[in-house]
Amino acid sequence: MNNITLMRDGSIVQNGETVESVLLMFLGFKVDLEKGYTLRSWFQMLGKYSLLASLNAFLPTSIEQYLACPANGCCFDGFDHLEFNKTVEMIGFPGNPRLEIYNSFHGIKSHKTFALKSVRMENILDMSVRLGKLKHVVFGDKVDIFEFDTVFSLFEFIDGIAWELSFHGSPKQCEIGR
């Protein structure tokens, strides 16, 4: 599989060269993150490669929120880092079994997962982002969840984070920890 590296400054690098054009051909490439990559880096990537901002209908609102945030110091004590992962879930057995595959983006604190929707964007922009594992859930059994190394494409990474951020917008008074 072809790889690209997403850099802290928002640049995309392939084979040691910064990507300047023909960006769409990289949407299916495996993503690696430079050490120190943050949610702010993700937004900077959307600014450098404006075509990517048209991949998801929710991005204009998230970009507006991002632009209204402070230029630095946007961290939240309630998380150690942010994590992007994938879940494969077999559900509906007996009956009509089906397989659902989805990505999620959430906060991690002491190996526990927390939703981001109750934390304002201004408090997570400078949190480090990590790529997690694939979680395999068999017929809703949350006790025996299997975890595997996996890959994430650039499209999955952009669309998955955009989807999660679309749930943002809680009033400041409703933020976790207040």
User: How do the domains of the chain map onto residue ranges?
Assistant: 3-165
Q: How confident is the model at residue 107 (pLDDT cuts 50, 70, 90)?
A: very high
- Strand ranges across the sheet with 12-14: 17-18, 12-14, 3-6, 30-33
Pick the more confident residue, 1 or 74.
74
CA distance 138 to 156: 22
- Identify the three-state secondary structure at position 13: strand
Mean pLDDT computed over 22-42: 95
Q: Which of 3-12, 13-22, 41-50 has the lowest mean pLDDT?
A: 13-22
Q: What is the mean pLDDT of residues 162-172?
A: 72
In angstroms, the CA 107 to CA 116 distance is 6
Higher pLDDT residue, 35 or 149? Answer: 35
Which spans in the chain are helix H?
39-48, 59-67, 154-165
**Is the pLDDT confidence value at 53 over 50?**
yes
